[in-house]
């Protein structure tokens, strides 16, 4: 079956760095997405990786290793507004998005 | 980025009534839209794929007669929850795009509460 694994919850301190991991097993691969979702709101797009390596976008970076079925989202200089759930999603061979359950990130002052 | 508009954002209805949720792509044509459901602290669950001009494709376990989807134009898809019951209370989200190498654009979501 298809599976996306990411930690349920993480806690970090304001101003620090946090890495959220995602491992996947899917039938085919056409890219990996990271989304941010605040409580009660729809997800917003953060990043897309289809080739191995690191994609940097401001305070957020996303890394992909296709051979390992692994990605991480790196958040630097954490701010209180970064408290949210972070969703990892993989597009399979049928171009369907397979969603992880999300990682709830709690930022403490 | 592209904009997908979803209405209403919140709705409270009585058990047994029907509720219609609209999803519009404002600045692009979407031949395919997706409808998701999300329970608290759980992942997005794909309910159905809405195809312009043809019948929607429902995921296993989703009742097509209960969740009616209409995609009559390239910019509008609607989800109607018929004969709603309290267990239908959930957060419903539509999206467009998210195919091939494009990002998915999400509507704002609709919080449905059935009392």
Q: What is the pLDDT of residues A66-81, one digit of tens each?
A: 999 999 999 999 999 9
Q: Which residues of A touch B98 (CB under 8 A)?
A: 33, 91, 97
Task: Give the minimum alpha-carbon distance from B28 to chain A in angstroms, rounded to a whole number.
Answer: 17
What pLDDT sits at residue B2? 67
What pLDDT sits at residue B52? 85
Structure tokens at B107: 């509507």
Per-residue confidence band for B32, with pLDDT thresholds at 50, 70 and 90: confident
Q: Are A43 and B99 inside 8 Å of each other by CB?
A: no
B101 has pLDDT over 60: no
The number of residues in chain B equals: 115
Angle B25-B12-B55 (CA atoms, 0-180°, nearest 5)?
A: 40
When scoring B98, B99, B113 by the number of chain A Cβ atoms within 10 A, the one with the most, hence best to mutate, is: B98
Which whole number is the average pLDDT over B75-88?
A: 95
Task: Give the minimum alpha-carbon distance from A106 to chain B in angstroms, rounded to a whole number.
Answer: 14
Per-residue confidence band for B100, with pLDDT thresholds at 50, 70 and 90: low
Q: Which residues of B8-43 are buried (b: 16+ CB within 10 A; e: fewer)?
A: eeebebeeeeebebbbbbeeeebebbbbbbbeeeeb
Q: Which residues of A touch B57 (CB under 8 A)?
A: none
What pLDDT sits at residue B103? 74
Query: Rounded distance, CA A67 to CA B47, Å?
Result: 30
B103 Cα distance to chain centroid? 17
Which whole number is the average pLDDT over A50-66?
A: 95
**A 17-76 residues with CB below 8 A of B?**
30-31, 33, 40-45, 48, 50
Contacts of A27 by beta carbon, 8 Å cutoff, 6+ apart: A2, A92, A93, A94
Task: Give the model confidence (pLDDT) of B33-60 as tens digits.
Answer: 999 998 877 778 899 998 888 889 999 9
B112 has pLDDT over 80: yes
What pLDDT sits at residue B1? 61
Q: Which residues of A touch B105 (CB under 8 A)?
A: 45
What pLDDT sits at residue B98? 65
Q: Which residues of B touch A33 (CB under 8 A)?
A: 98, 103-104
Are A58 and A46 a contacting pair, CB within 8 Å?
no
- Cα dist from B76 to A28, A34, B16, B86, whole Å: 30, 26, 25, 27
């Amino acid at each position: 079956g298809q599976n996306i694994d990411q930690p349920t919850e993480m806690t970090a301190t304001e101003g620090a760095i946090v890495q959220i991991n995602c491992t996947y097993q899917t039938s085919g691969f056409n890219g990996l997405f990271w989304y941010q979702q605040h409580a009660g709101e729809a997800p917003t797009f953060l990043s897309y990786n289809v080739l191995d390596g690191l994609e940097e976008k401001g305070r957020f970076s996303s890394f992909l290793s296709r051979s390992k079925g692994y990605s991480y989202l790196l958040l630097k200089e954490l701010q209180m507004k970064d408290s949210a759930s972070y969703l990892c999603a993989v597009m399979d061979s049928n171009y369907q998005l397979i969603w992880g359950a999300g990682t709830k990130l709690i930022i403490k002052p | 980025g592209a904009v997908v508009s979803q209405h209403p954002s919140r709705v409270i209805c009585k058990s047994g009534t029907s509720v219609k949720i609209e999803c519009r792509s404002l600045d692009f044509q979407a031949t395919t839209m997706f409808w998701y459901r999300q329970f608290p602290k759980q992942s997005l669950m794909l309910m159905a794929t809405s195809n312009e001009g043809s019948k929607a494709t429902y995921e296993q376990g989703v009742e097509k007669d209960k969740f009616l989807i209409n995609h009559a134009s390239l910019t509008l898809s609607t989800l109607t929850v018929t004969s709603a019951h309290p267990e239908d209370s959930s957060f419903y989200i539509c999206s467009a795009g998210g195919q091939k190498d494009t990002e998915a654009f999400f509507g704002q979501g609709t919080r449905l509460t059935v009392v």
